Chains A and B, each alone.
Chain A
Protein backbone atom coordinates (compact mmCIF):
# COMPACT_ATOMS: atom_id res chain seq x y z
CA UNK A 1 0.00 0.00 0.00
CA UNK A 2 2.82 2.39 0.83
CA UNK A 3 4.44 1.93 -2.55
CA UNK A 4 1.20 2.73 -4.28
CA UNK A 5 0.62 5.81 -2.16
CA UNK A 6 3.94 7.21 -3.21
CA UNK A 7 2.73 7.37 -6.78
CA UNK A 8 -0.22 9.51 -5.86
CA UNK A 9 -0.07 13.27 -6.01
CA UNK A 10 1.42 14.42 -2.75
CA UNK A 11 0.19 18.01 -2.87
CA UNK A 12 -3.20 17.37 -1.38
CA UNK A 13 -4.87 20.65 -0.48
CA UNK A 14 -5.88 20.62 3.15
CA UNK A 15 -9.28 21.81 4.22
CA UNK A 16 -9.20 24.84 6.51
CA UNK A 17 -9.69 24.58 10.26
CA UNK A 18 -11.71 27.37 11.84
CA UNK A 19 -12.11 28.34 15.49
CA UNK A 20 -14.88 30.47 16.86
CA UNK A 21 -15.46 31.60 20.38
CA UNK A 22 -19.08 31.34 21.47
CA UNK A 23 -19.84 33.26 24.61
CA UNK A 24 -17.54 33.23 27.56
CA UNK A 25 -17.05 29.54 28.04
CA UNK A 26 -17.17 27.83 24.67
CA UNK A 27 -14.81 27.34 21.75
CA UNK A 28 -15.96 25.71 18.51
CA UNK A 29 -13.58 24.15 16.01
CA UNK A 30 -14.72 23.04 12.54
CA UNK A 31 -13.13 21.14 9.70
CA UNK A 32 -14.32 19.16 6.68
CA UNK A 33 -12.85 15.78 5.78
CA UNK A 34 -13.09 14.26 2.31
CA UNK A 35 -14.44 10.95 3.55
CA UNK A 36 -17.69 9.49 4.84
CA UNK A 37 -18.53 9.99 8.51
CA UNK A 38 -18.02 6.34 9.40
CA UNK A 39 -14.38 6.58 8.36
CA UNK A 40 -13.67 9.76 10.31
CA UNK A 41 -15.49 8.27 13.29
CA UNK A 42 -13.38 5.13 13.05
CA UNK A 43 -10.15 7.16 13.01
CA UNK A 44 -11.38 8.95 16.13
CA UNK A 45 -12.58 5.95 18.11
CA UNK A 46 -10.04 3.22 17.42
CA UNK A 47 -7.26 3.81 19.95
CA UNK A 48 -4.49 2.62 17.62
CA UNK A 49 -5.63 5.11 14.98
CA UNK A 50 -6.38 7.92 17.43
CA UNK A 51 -2.84 7.68 18.79
CA UNK A 52 -1.49 8.45 15.34
CA UNK A 53 -2.99 11.91 15.02
CA UNK A 54 -3.96 13.33 18.40
CA UNK A 55 -0.44 14.51 19.15
CA UNK A 56 0.84 16.21 16.00
CA UNK A 57 4.59 16.05 15.65
CA UNK A 58 4.84 19.79 15.18
CA UNK A 59 3.84 20.31 18.81
CA UNK A 60 7.15 19.06 20.10
CA UNK A 61 5.43 16.57 22.34
CA UNK A 62 4.79 12.90 22.30
CA UNK A 63 2.11 10.59 23.52
CA UNK A 64 3.35 8.31 26.29
CA UNK A 65 0.19 6.30 26.69
CA UNK A 66 -3.46 6.25 25.81
CA UNK A 67 -6.02 3.95 27.36
CA UNK A 68 -9.65 4.29 26.49
CA UNK A 69 -12.87 2.39 26.94
CA UNK A 70 -14.86 4.16 24.27
CA UNK A 71 -18.50 3.70 25.26
CA UNK A 72 -20.88 5.78 27.35
CA UNK A 73 -19.61 5.70 30.93
CA UNK A 74 -16.20 4.36 29.90
CA UNK A 75 -13.10 6.30 30.90
CA UNK A 76 -9.92 7.34 29.18
CA UNK A 77 -6.48 8.44 30.24
CA UNK A 78 -3.88 10.10 28.06
CA UNK A 79 -0.34 10.92 29.09
CA UNK A 80 1.74 13.39 27.13
CA UNK A 81 5.41 13.89 27.48
CA UNK A 82 7.36 17.09 27.08
CA UNK A 83 11.12 17.35 26.89
CA UNK A 84 11.56 13.81 25.78
CA UNK A 85 9.90 12.36 28.84
CA UNK A 86 11.24 14.52 31.67
CA UNK A 87 7.82 16.08 32.20
CA UNK A 88 4.61 14.19 31.69
CA UNK A 89 1.10 15.58 31.77
CA UNK A 90 -1.96 13.37 32.26
CA UNK A 91 -5.43 14.04 30.85
CA UNK A 92 -8.41 11.98 31.84
CA UNK A 93 -12.17 11.82 31.95
CA UNK A 94 -15.20 9.84 30.83
CA UNK A 95 -17.13 9.32 27.65
CA UNK A 96 -20.64 10.58 28.23
CA UNK A 97 -22.12 9.73 24.86
CA UNK A 98 -20.88 7.54 22.01
CA UNK A 99 -23.22 7.45 19.00
CA UNK A 100 -21.56 5.60 16.12
CA UNK A 101 -20.68 7.74 13.14
CA UNK A 102 -22.35 10.87 14.43
CA UNK A 103 -21.53 12.07 17.93
CA UNK A 104 -19.08 11.77 20.81
CA UNK A 105 -19.20 13.59 24.14
CA UNK A 106 -16.55 13.34 26.84
CA UNK A 107 -15.49 15.10 30.00
CA UNK A 108 -12.03 16.49 30.70
CA UNK A 109 -11.49 16.10 34.39
CA UNK A 110 -7.84 16.94 34.87
CA UNK A 111 -8.63 20.50 35.80
CA UNK A 112 -9.34 20.65 39.53
CA UNK A 113 -11.46 23.78 39.02
CA UNK A 114 -14.11 21.84 37.16
CA UNK A 115 -14.63 19.55 34.21
CA UNK A 116 -14.76 20.79 30.65
CA UNK A 117 -17.09 19.01 28.25
CA UNK A 118 -16.08 18.25 24.67
CA UNK A 119 -18.65 17.37 22.04
CA UNK A 120 -17.76 16.35 18.53
CA UNK A 121 -20.34 15.80 15.79
CA UNK A 122 -19.77 14.19 12.40
CA UNK A 123 -22.21 15.29 9.70
CA UNK A 124 -21.95 13.60 6.33
CA UNK A 125 -22.96 15.39 3.15
CA UNK A 126 -22.12 14.32 -0.38
CA UNK A 127 -19.50 11.86 0.79
CA UNK A 128 -17.71 14.49 2.91
CA UNK A 129 -17.86 14.95 6.64
CA UNK A 130 -18.23 18.21 8.49
CA UNK A 131 -16.66 17.84 11.91
CA UNK A 132 -17.69 20.29 14.61
CA UNK A 133 -15.99 20.14 17.97
CA UNK A 134 -17.17 22.19 20.92
CA UNK A 135 -15.27 22.64 24.16
CA UNK A 136 -17.42 23.94 26.97
CA UNK A 137 -15.33 25.15 29.88
CA UNK A 138 -16.34 25.35 33.53
CA UNK A 139 -15.47 29.05 33.67
CA UNK A 140 -14.45 31.98 31.53
CA UNK A 141 -10.97 31.85 33.03
CA UNK A 142 -10.54 28.24 32.01
CA UNK A 143 -11.74 29.04 28.49
CA UNK A 144 -9.50 32.09 28.26
CA UNK A 145 -6.31 30.38 28.29
CA UNK A 146 -6.68 27.44 30.28
CA UNK A 147 -3.54 28.99 31.22
CA UNK A 148 -4.76 28.09 34.65
CA UNK A 149 -5.47 24.46 34.00
CA UNK A 150 -3.05 23.66 36.75
CA UNK A 151 -2.19 25.91 39.61
CA UNK A 152 1.51 25.39 39.21
CA UNK A 153 1.28 26.45 35.64
CA UNK A 154 -0.73 29.49 36.40
CA UNK A 155 2.04 30.47 38.73
CA UNK A 156 4.65 29.81 36.09
CA UNK A 157 2.84 31.86 33.51
CA UNK A 158 2.12 34.57 36.06
CA UNK A 159 5.80 34.77 36.83
CA UNK A 160 6.69 34.93 33.19
CA UNK A 161 4.09 37.61 32.59
CA UNK A 162 5.50 39.67 35.41
CA UNK A 163 8.91 39.16 34.00
CA UNK A 164 7.81 40.23 30.55
CA UNK A 165 6.09 43.31 31.96
CA UNK A 166 9.21 44.27 33.83
CA UNK A 167 11.33 43.77 30.80
CA UNK A 168 8.91 45.20 28.27
Chain B
Protein backbone atom coordinates (compact mmCIF):
# COMPACT_ATOMS: atom_id res chain seq x y z
CA UNK B 1 0.00 0.00 0.00
CA UNK B 2 1.29 3.35 0.68
CA UNK B 3 4.46 4.72 2.07
CA UNK B 4 3.41 7.62 4.13
CA UNK B 5 7.02 8.48 4.47
CA UNK B 6 6.82 9.64 0.92
CA UNK B 7 6.16 13.07 -0.23
CA UNK B 8 3.21 12.28 -2.42
CA UNK B 9 1.04 11.62 0.46
CA UNK B 10 1.57 14.29 2.92
CA UNK B 11 0.20 17.70 3.12
CA UNK B 12 3.33 19.28 1.69
CA UNK B 13 2.98 17.23 -1.42
CA UNK B 14 -0.65 18.12 -1.83
CA UNK B 15 0.25 21.73 -1.30
CA UNK B 16 3.02 21.68 -3.89
CA UNK B 17 1.22 19.69 -6.51
CA UNK B 18 -0.47 22.77 -7.85
CA UNK B 19 1.18 25.38 -10.03
CA UNK B 20 -0.85 28.23 -8.55
CA UNK B 21 0.21 27.32 -5.04
CA UNK B 22 3.86 27.17 -6.05
CA UNK B 23 3.36 30.57 -7.62
CA UNK B 24 1.84 31.86 -4.40
CA UNK B 25 4.91 30.68 -2.46
CA UNK B 26 7.20 32.46 -4.88
CA UNK B 27 5.10 35.56 -4.66
CA UNK B 28 5.12 35.53 -0.88
CA UNK B 29 8.86 35.13 -1.07
CA UNK B 30 8.99 38.61 -2.54
CA UNK B 31 6.58 40.24 -0.11
CA UNK B 32 3.71 39.48 2.24
CA UNK B 33 0.34 39.83 0.57
CA UNK B 34 -3.34 39.77 1.39
CA UNK B 35 -5.59 37.08 -0.01
CA UNK B 36 -7.26 39.75 -2.13
CA UNK B 37 -3.87 40.77 -3.61
CA UNK B 38 -3.06 37.16 -4.39
CA UNK B 39 -6.46 36.52 -5.96
CA UNK B 40 -5.90 39.51 -8.25
CA UNK B 41 -2.33 38.52 -9.13
CA UNK B 42 -3.42 35.03 -10.04
CA UNK B 43 -6.61 36.16 -11.67
CA UNK B 44 -8.94 34.04 -9.60
CA UNK B 45 -11.86 34.40 -7.22
CA UNK B 46 -11.35 35.20 -3.58
CA UNK B 47 -12.91 31.87 -2.63
CA UNK B 48 -10.55 30.01 -4.93
CA UNK B 49 -7.51 31.74 -3.50
CA UNK B 50 -8.70 31.17 0.06
CA UNK B 51 -8.77 27.45 -0.63
CA UNK B 52 -5.23 27.47 -2.00
CA UNK B 53 -3.95 29.46 0.96
CA UNK B 54 -5.72 27.14 3.40
CA UNK B 55 -3.93 24.13 1.87
CA UNK B 56 -0.55 25.90 2.07
CA UNK B 57 -1.28 26.91 5.63
CA UNK B 58 -2.20 23.38 6.63
CA UNK B 59 1.10 22.19 5.22
CA UNK B 60 2.91 24.80 7.32
CA UNK B 61 4.29 26.53 4.24
CA UNK B 62 2.32 29.71 4.76
CA UNK B 63 1.19 31.60 7.85
CA UNK B 64 -1.82 33.90 7.76
CA UNK B 65 -2.86 36.61 10.14
CA UNK B 66 -6.07 38.57 10.20
CA UNK B 67 -5.78 42.25 10.98
CA UNK B 68 -9.11 44.02 10.85
CA UNK B 69 -10.81 42.73 7.74
CA UNK B 70 -7.65 41.86 5.88
CA UNK B 71 -5.98 38.47 6.04
CA UNK B 72 -2.27 38.77 5.34
CA UNK B 73 -0.20 35.82 4.19
CA UNK B 74 3.51 35.26 4.63
CA UNK B 75 5.87 32.36 4.12
CA UNK B 76 5.99 29.80 6.90
CA UNK B 77 9.42 29.11 8.28
CA UNK B 78 9.08 25.40 8.33
CA UNK B 79 11.84 23.73 6.42
CA UNK B 80 11.00 20.60 4.52
CA UNK B 81 14.04 18.72 5.69
CA UNK B 82 13.32 19.33 9.34
CA UNK B 83 13.56 15.73 10.49
CA UNK B 84 11.63 16.08 13.72
CA UNK B 85 8.82 17.89 12.03
CA UNK B 86 8.79 15.31 9.33
CA UNK B 87 8.47 12.35 11.67
CA UNK B 88 5.73 14.16 13.55
CA UNK B 89 3.79 14.76 10.36
CA UNK B 90 4.26 11.11 9.48
CA UNK B 91 2.89 10.18 12.91
CA UNK B 92 -0.07 12.49 12.47
CA UNK B 93 -0.94 10.86 9.18
CA UNK B 94 -0.94 7.41 10.72
CA UNK B 95 -2.84 8.71 13.71
CA UNK B 96 -5.55 10.18 11.48
CA UNK B 97 -5.67 6.96 9.51
CA UNK B 98 -5.91 4.80 12.61
CA UNK B 99 -8.65 7.00 14.09
CA UNK B 100 -10.69 6.18 10.99
CA UNK B 101 -9.74 2.51 11.28
CA UNK B 102 -10.95 2.65 14.89
CA UNK B 103 -14.36 3.73 13.64
CA UNK B 104 -14.56 0.82 11.23
CA UNK B 105 -13.40 -1.59 13.96
CA UNK B 106 -16.02 -0.30 16.43
CA UNK B 107 -18.70 -0.77 13.82
CA UNK B 108 -17.62 -4.35 13.15
CA UNK B 109 -17.58 -5.05 16.88
CA UNK B 110 -21.15 -3.83 17.25
CA UNK B 111 -22.26 -5.75 14.22
CA UNK B 112 -20.77 -8.92 15.65
CA UNK B 113 -22.53 -8.36 18.97
CA UNK B 114 -25.83 -7.74 17.20
CA UNK B 115 -25.42 -10.85 15.07
CA UNK B 116 -24.58 -12.91 18.17
CA UNK B 117 -27.66 -11.59 19.92
CA UNK B 118 -29.85 -12.48 16.95
CA UNK B 119 -28.48 -16.01 16.87
CA UNK B 120 -29.31 -16.53 20.53
CA UNK B 121 -32.81 -15.19 20.14
A and B pair up: yes
The verdict on A17 contacting chain B, using a C-beta distance below 8 Å, is: yes
- CB <8 Å contact, A56 and B93: yes
Closest residue to B26 on the A side, CB-wise? Answer: A163
- CB <8 Å contact, B112 and A83: no
The verdict on A142 contacting chain B, using a C-beta distance below 8 Å, is: yes
Given A19-B87, A19-B94, A61-B14 in contact, is the A43-B6 Cβ separation under 8 Å?
no
Q: Which residues on A sit within 8 Å (CB–CB) of B90?
A: 19, 27
Given A56-B96, A83-B18 in contact, is the A149-B7 Cβ separation under 8 Å?
yes
In which size bucket is the chain B interface?
Answer: 35 or more
In which size bucket is the chain A interface?
Answer: 35 or more
Distance (whole angstroms) from the CB of B98 to the closest CB of chain A: 5
The verdict on B80 contacting chain A, using a C-beta distance below 8 Å, is: yes
Q: Which residues on A sit within 8 Å (CB–CB) of B67?
A: none
Q: Which residues on B sit within 8 Å (CB–CB) of A108?
A: 1-3
- CB <8 Å contact, B91 and A89: no
The answer for the CA separation of A87 and B1 in the assembled complex, in Å, is 18
Most buried by B among A58, A108, A135: A58
Instruction: Name the 9 nearest CB pairs between A and B, nearest first.
Output: A146-B6, A53-B100, A149-B6, A56-B96, A17-B95, A146-B5, A19-B91, A167-B29, A53-B101
- Listed A/B pairs (24) with beta-carbon separation below 8 Å: A1-B110, A4-B110, A5-B110, A16-B95, A19-B90, A35-B106, A43-B105, A49-B108, A53-B101, A56-B96, A56-B97, A59-B14, A60-B11, A60-B14, A78-B1, A93-B1, A118-B3, A137-B5, A143-B5, A145-B7, A147-B6, A160-B80, A164-B79, A164-B80
- Please list the residues of chain A having a beta carbon within 8 angstroms of any beta carbon in chain B: 1, 4-5, 12, 14-19, 21, 27, 29, 31, 33-35, 39-40, 42-44, 49, 52-61, 76, 78, 80, 82-83, 86-87, 89, 91, 93, 106, 108, 111, 116, 118, 131, 133, 135, 137, 142-150, 153, 156-157, 160-161, 163-164, 166-168
